[in-house]
């Protein structure tokens, strides 16, 4: 006789892994965008904030490559420099980018409304809080210090500098599982405002939650979003949600303030034996 055995984890959630810009701090994810625009200006190329947002969520050198791959940016670069952008150009841009980002990142550490209440909810359930990011370790140290002053202190912080590769690879999430001493991966939830956030979580075998309105995909400040009509906000929500679900997200929320109710739903599903 032939048998197949299957076991299901039913212990509930143990940890929540949060992104930074656009998810927990920096409403609209403006810190990277502003620096990329300024960086390209220094190199004789004008790009728009929309160009700068292409590749958001990736490790910053990969983000630079994504910007340069856009036809309009490649054409502008070739016009300014007489040749298409090369890997050597990426290296030069990145060398200039990091100090620029470190200089300004702490100015964008304001918690997104609802963050501290959500953190309190997570703590009340006994769950750990880890974070991943597209920022390097030096950038992250500056941001984390400013966020700490505002009252946000995760249990663990990982950056692409700490692992072989950043998003969409799962290495940061795996390292967080080790650092937080959490297993299985189905006991963890990844939350972020970009498709690479979702891909990172899925590749790690985690539950995933996309953040629609406060992050990079909408790219509006809190005041700008508040000026939109209900119909305009609903249209943005539909558009961004569709992109997240197409990427495989299990849930999509408007902002970090909405996360507790989704975490309760995921926790119930895990305790019922479901996996991502």
In 3D space, the residue among 60, 71, 67, 61 whose CA is nearest the CA of residue 40 turns out to be 67
Which among 34, 16, 18, 13 is positioned nearest to 194, based on CA atoms? Answer: 18
pLDDT tens per residue, range 111-146: 999 999 999 999 999 999 999 999 999 989 999 999
Instruction: Specify whether the CB–CB gap between 198 and 219 falls below 8 A.
Output: no
In this prediction, residue 66 carries a pLDDT of: 87
What is the distance between the alpha carbons of residues 276 and 272, in angstroms, rounded to a whole number? 12
Domains in the chain: boundaries: 15-29+109-271, 31-107
pLDDT of residue 70: 85
Query: How many Å apart are CA 262 and CA 252, to the nearest integer?
Result: 9
Q: Average pLDDT of each block of 10 consecutive residues along the chain (276 residues)?
A: 85 98 94 84 84 76 86 86 86 86 88 98 98 93 95 97 95 98 98 97 98 95 96 97 98 99 98 96
What pLDDT score was predicted for residue 81?
85
Q: Say what the pLDDT of residue 34 is.
A: 82
Name the class of domain 15-29+109-271. Answer: alpha beta
User: DSSP letters along 50-66, please?
Assistant: HHHHTTTTS-HHHHHHH
Show which residues are catalytic. 19, 60
Beta-bridge partners for 21: 25
Record: fold of 31-107: DNA polymerase; domain 1 (1.10.150)
Of 14, 13, 63, the C-alpha closest to 35 is 63
pLDDT of residue 31: 86
SS3 199: helix
Confidence (pLDDT) at 189: 99
Rg of the chain on CA atoms, in Å: 19
Stated pTM of the model: 0.87
| Distances from the Cα of 263 to the Cα of 12, 24, 253, 259, 276, angstroms | 10, 16, 11, 6, 13
pLDDT computed for residue 62 by the predictor: 84
pLDDT of residue 92: 87
């Amino acid at each position: 006789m032939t048998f197949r055995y299957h076991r299901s984890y039913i212990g509930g959630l143990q940890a929540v892994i949060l992104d930074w810009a656009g998810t927990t701090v920096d409403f609209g994810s403006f810190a990277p965008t502003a620096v990329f625009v300024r960086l390209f200006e220094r190199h004789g190329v004008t790009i728009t904030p929309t160009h700068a947002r292409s590749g958001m969520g990736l490790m910053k050198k990969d983000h630079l490559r994504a910007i340069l791959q856009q036809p309009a940016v490649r054409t502008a670069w070739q016009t300014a420099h007489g040749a298409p952008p090369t890997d050597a150009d990426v290296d030069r841009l990145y060398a200039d980018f990091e100090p620029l980002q470190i200089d300004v990142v702490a100015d964008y550490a304001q918690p997104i409304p609802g963050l501290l209440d959500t953190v309190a909810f997570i703590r009340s359930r006994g769950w750990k809080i880890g974070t991943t990011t597209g920022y390097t370790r030096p950038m992250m140290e500056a941001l984390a210090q400013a966020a700490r002053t505002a009252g946000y202190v995760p249990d663990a912080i990982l950056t692409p500098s700490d692992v072989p590769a950043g998003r969409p690879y799962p290495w940061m999430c795996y390292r967080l599982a080790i650092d937080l001493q959490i297993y299985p991966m189905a006991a963890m939830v990844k939350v972020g405002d970009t498709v690479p956030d979702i891909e990172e979580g899925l590749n790690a075998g985690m539950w995933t939650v996309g953040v629609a309105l406060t992050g990079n995909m909408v790219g509006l400040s809190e005041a700008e979003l508040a000026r939109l009509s209900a119909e305009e906000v609903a249209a943005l929500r539909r558009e961004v949600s569709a992109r997240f679900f197409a990427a495989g997200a299990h849930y999509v929320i408007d902002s970090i303030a909405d996360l507790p109710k989704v975490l309760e739903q995921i926790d119930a599903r895990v305790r019922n034996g479901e996996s991502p």
